Amino acid sequence: MKKVKMRHSNSRFLLLALAALFFFSNPSFAQDAADSPSVEENTTPVDEAGLEGDVSAGKDLFNSLCAACHKPYKRAIGPALHGVTEKRGKEWLYSWIKNSSAMIEAGDPQAVAIYEEYNKVAMNAFPQLSNSDIDNILAYVEQPKPEPKVAVAAEGSTAAGQGGGAGVSTQVVLGILAFVLLLLLVVLFLVNKTLTRFAEANGVVIEKDEKISKPIWKAFVENQFLVIVTTVVLLLVGSYYVYGFFMQVGVDQGYAPVQPIHYSHKIHAGDNGIDCKYCHSSARVSKQSGIPSLNVCMNCHKSIAEVAPETATEEYSKEFYDGEIAKLYDAVGWDPATQSYTGEEKPVKWVRIHNLPDLAYFNHSQHVTVAGIECQKCHGPVEEMEIMRQHAPLTMGWCIECHRDTKVNMQGNEYYEKIHEELSKKYGVETLTAAQMGALECGKCHY
Ligand code: HEC
Ligand code: HEC
Ligand code: HEC
Ligand code: HEC
Ligand code: HEC
Ligand code: HEC
């Protein structure tokens, strides 16, 4: 009689399938998809209007001399310059840019008309520019408007995960693979079943492995010592986690809500190095740090209507950021087209992140100004946060621990002169911690 050994065929197949899945889900595979050429390659300058001129030299000149008042494709203080060579002759442009007020005084009709249209704002004269410099600038502004990249991150919520079409295609590939594997599994199962039936019909005996007489779990249950040890270990581990879980109640460390305007501390405080106290100015002098009013934003954003292309990341596209600045304009009622306020304001409802219970008293100026503590000590690496989050647990233990550990820097700090003299005698030490100065007394933090 023939014997067929089949005991491992199923598990072997499963192993193979797993290995295949693992291989295909390997990041290096996904990488290939991400490396494939994307839609971005549309930025090579093309001299569409047939102007001779060095675009990159023109860009430098434009940025240093004209960008304060002009944008290529949008109205700013002065008109958008794209298309100006179709409207005006070369000679007119040369003499306008070199000295526009002379043309206005001379009564050139076109010059007077545009001067009137722009509320008689005078443009600077640029006698230092040669005609070829001006050609370069015009070549730069007459470049066709770069096609917007395929908008990936239209909204904050969809922005998470991989940027670009690559992320999607990887997922699709993985999905298809998983489906194919599932299909294979089903087919193999069916084949296995048919073959078994076929073998049975032919009188082939399929040998099943039954060497292990007692299953492991039975052996385990019968060994009392092992059962007791395991129970004790499980109880200990369990209570550790349960305790940890309950200690988390009311602690919102890591809380990072979606804000009405996607405001990035990384871009402002990090990349552009804006001082925290420029916006959170009351941190120095009062209990609260406060959130800046939108007027503070407009000090800069009157002239920053869009971000530089380099600011865009894989996760957040330039269109996304520009849209967020547009939300700011909408809220303060600023019309970028006319560069004026419309008077229609809508308050921005920022979601509060840090919030101590009412029973506790915390004062910023005491820590920032008196003790001279950096914001980052309590709020973490804010200048790297694209989305603001609560860094510290804000528990009582956290406050106390720092008060015990922090040696107060008293050198040249007039707040401390008297208290230092008294307390350093009392404790017989040169340096004092906040705790030694009474920062552990319940009443200091509790009303
Ligand atoms: C101080 C702000 C300011 C600066 C700097 C400036 N411009 Fe102007 N420009 C204006 C204003 C305002 C107008 C609209 C006419 C007017 O009110 O005088 C204008 C008009 C123009 C026009 C005419 C546009 C048209 O539609 O006819 C051209 C061309 C021009 N500017 C080119 C330049 C170039 C090139 C530079 C840099 C070398 C430059 N401007 C720098 C403010 C400025
Ligand atoms: C250009 C203005 C600006 C600058 C500069 C700035 N912030 Fe902010 N900050 C804001 C705005 C607007 C919010 C509210 C939106 C948010 O939470 O993201 C905020 C929120 C915060 C919050 C959370 C407030 C809450 O709701 O609990 C903290 C903490 C904070 N900033 C700390 C800092 C620190 C530290 C720095 C310096 C490294 C800094 N900020 C620089 C504007 C600014
Ligand atoms: C000191 C100048 C300054 C102030 C004040 C300022 N910004 Fe900005 N803002 C910038 C600069 C610079 C950029 C980046 C431009 C770039 O990358 O090309 C920017 C970019 C942005 C962006 C797009 C990137 C992002 O963070 O999502 C938004 C939205 C924005 N600002 C909102 C605000 C708001 C809201 C305030 C007020 C709380 C504010 N800004 C205050 C200078 C400022
Ligand atoms: C000693 C720790 C500590 C330091 C240093 C500190 N903060 Fe705070 N910050 C807190 C705590 C705690 C809260 C929550 C306060 C509350 O809920 O009453 C908070 C809240 C805030 C808020 C929310 C609004 C408010 O005023 O309650 C902002 C914004 C903020 N901090 C910014 C700053 C900035 C900017 C600096 C640096 C100039 C700074 N913080 C330094 C601990 C600190
Ligand atoms: C990064 C360290 C640090 C953290 C965190 C911190 N503190 Fe302090 N705190 C200090 C220092 C240093 C002083 C001493 C300043 C002084 O002499 O007034 C101080 C002083 C104080 C005082 C005044 C004590 C006195 O003797 O008058 C109070 C109240 C206080 N902290 C409350 C808090 C509370 C509430 C928290 C938690 C939410 C907190 N602090 C977290 C460092 C810290
Ligand atoms: C350095 C500041 C500080 C000091 C000193 C301090 N506390 Fe607290 N305490 C806090 C803060 C902050 C909280 C809120 C913690 C939280 O929300 O998780 C708190 C919370 C508590 C709570 C819990 C209240 C609740 O509803 O959960 C009790 C009880 C308490 N404190 C008692 C005391 C007693 C008693 C003392 C004196 C031995 C004391 N605290 C000293 C800062 C302090």
280 lines ligand 3 (CB under 6 A): no
Q: In this structure, which ligand is nearest to the CA of 257? A: 2
Ranking 71-75, 143-147, 270-274, 382-386 by mean pLDDT, the lowest is 143-147
Residue in the block written with tokens 């967020």: 324
Which residues lie closer than 8 Å to 364 by C-beta, 6 or more apart? 282, 283, 284, 286, 287, 288, 289
Mutate to test the pocket of ligand 6, among 366, 394, 396, 408 (most ligand atoms within 8 A of CB): 396
The C-alpha atoms of residue 140 and residue 138 are separated, in whole angstroms, by: 5
Query: From the CB of 438, is ligand 5 less than 6 Å away?
Result: yes
Residue nearest to atom 17 of ligand 3 (CA): 307
pLDDT-wise least confident of 68-72, 147-151, 250-254, 351-355: 147-151
Q: Average pLDDT for residues 105-133, to the nearest whole number?
A: 87
Q: Is the CB of 400 under 6 A from ligand 6?
A: yes
Q: Which atom of ligand 4 is nearest to the CA of 288?
A: 26
**Residue owning the nearest CA to atom 12 of ligand 3:** 272
Which residues fall within 8 angstroms of residue 207, CB to CB, at 6 or more apart? 3, 4, 5, 6, 7
Distance 360 CA to ligand 6 centre (A): 7
**Number of residues in the chain:** 447
444 lines ligand 6 (CB under 6 A): yes
361 Cα to the center of ligand 1, angstroms: 56
- Output the residue whose Cα is nearest ligand 1's atom 15: 115
**Ligand that lies nearest to the alpha carbon of residue 395, given by its number in the listed order:** 6
Give the pLDDT score at 71.
84
Res 150 pLDDT > 60:
no
Q: What pLDDT digit, counting tens, does each position of 20-69 carry?
A: 544 444 444 434 333 333 333 333 344 444 567 888 889 888 988 888 88
The reported pLDDT for the residue numbered 136 is: 92
Confidence of residue 148 (pLDDT cuts 50, 70, 90): low
Identify the H or E element spanning 362.
none
Ligand nearest to the CA of 86: 1
pTM over 0.75: no
- Pocket test of ligand 5: the residue of 402, 416, 423 to mutate, having most ligand atoms within 8 Å of its CB, is 402
Q: Give pLDDT tens digits for 399-420.
A: 999 999 888 777 667 777 777 7
Q: Out of 152-166, 288-302, 343-357, pick the least confident.
A: 152-166
| Cβ atoms of 261 and 327 closer than 8 Å | yes
199-232 per-position pLDDT tens digit = 888 877 766 665 557 788 888 888 889 999 999 9
User: Which pLDDT does position 425 carry in this prediction?
Assistant: 75
- Whether 420 and 410 have beta carbons less than 8 Å apart is answered as yes
Q: What is the pLDDT of residues 165-202, one digit of tens each?
A: 444 677 888 899 999 999 999 999 999 899 888 888 88
Please state, for a pLDDT cut of 70, what percent of the chain lies above it.
81
For residue 173, how many other CB atoms are within 10 A of its CB?
15
State the pLDDT at residue 389.
92
pLDDT of the residue at 369: 86
348 CA closest ligand 3 atom index:
35
The verdict on the CB of residue 395 being under 6 Å from ligand 6 is yes
Binding site membership of 283 for ligand 4 (Cβ less than 6 Å): yes
